[in-house]
Amino acid sequence: MGSVTSTAARLSTFAWTAVLACSVAWANETQVADHGSHPAHAPHGMNHGHGHHPGSTQTSDYVGLKERPLKALSTQQVEDLRAGRGMGLSLAAELNSVPGPRHVLQLQQQLGVSAEQASLLQDIVQAMEARARALGEEIIVAETQLDSGFRNKSLSQEQVLDLSSRIGALNGQLRAAHLQAHLQTAALLSPKQIAAYDLARGYTPAAR
């Protein structure tokens, strides 16, 4: 019985740690979108150069986020999720010479993309966007449930773990949808086209 209690406690601690880490990452990523050109602040308690002294009042870095309809997501993030946009989820592929279908289509003349390749790339984009939009809506629903539960003070430890796990899994599936589209795109292109893509995107220096 003691081992079961210990395991549950570890799971609960892990869930809260994951929620906190995700919240900080989302908040830091989107403060520019929510507050204009001001850079994202360091996490609370890690500010530098503000002259705070022990015992002085320190305003939370998250004050401006309190008015969000959905606290964990900015308006821009909600729009991106609903539109099926990439949001930087494909960087592992994009920056390792595995191109994305949208950008290849934008550069099709420079890359010498054939009509057949272009048609297949359009199919990849359509399938990717449909999958991403569906997952995006599920993420928004789950985040809304989490937000509402905390606002109403109605969540149990188990519900937080379940919702956090679901949101994490959905975000993983969303990322995979974008990354898989990159793999499908690379399979359609020649090594020469991929090299031209990296050059056109600025990932490799131009030959002198």
Taking the mean position of all CA atoms in its chain, how far away is CA 205? 28
What CA–CA distance (Å, rounded) separates 156 from 158?
Answer: 5
Asked if residue 171 is part of any domain, the answer here is yes
pLDDT at 9 over 70: no
Q: Is residue 123 part of a domain?
A: yes
Give me the domain span that covers residue 99. 74-202
- Whether residue 126 is contained in a domain is answered as yes
Residue 125 belongs to some domain of the structure: yes
Higher pLDDT, 32 or 148: 148
CA distances from 195 to 81, 127, 134, 145, 198 (A): 30, 25, 33, 45, 5
More confident residue, 66 or 30: 66
Predicted pLDDT of residue 3 = 44
Cα-Cα end-to-end distance for the chain: 70
The count of domains in the chain is 1
129 assigned to some structural domain: yes
Residue 55 lies in a domain: no
The answer to whether position 107 is within a domain reads yes
Residue 149 belongs to some domain of the structure: yes
Q: What is the pLDDT of residues 119-155, one digit of tens each?
A: 999 999 999 999 999 999 999 999 999 999 999 999 9
- pLDDT, one tens digit per residue, over 81-98 is 999 999 999 999 999 999
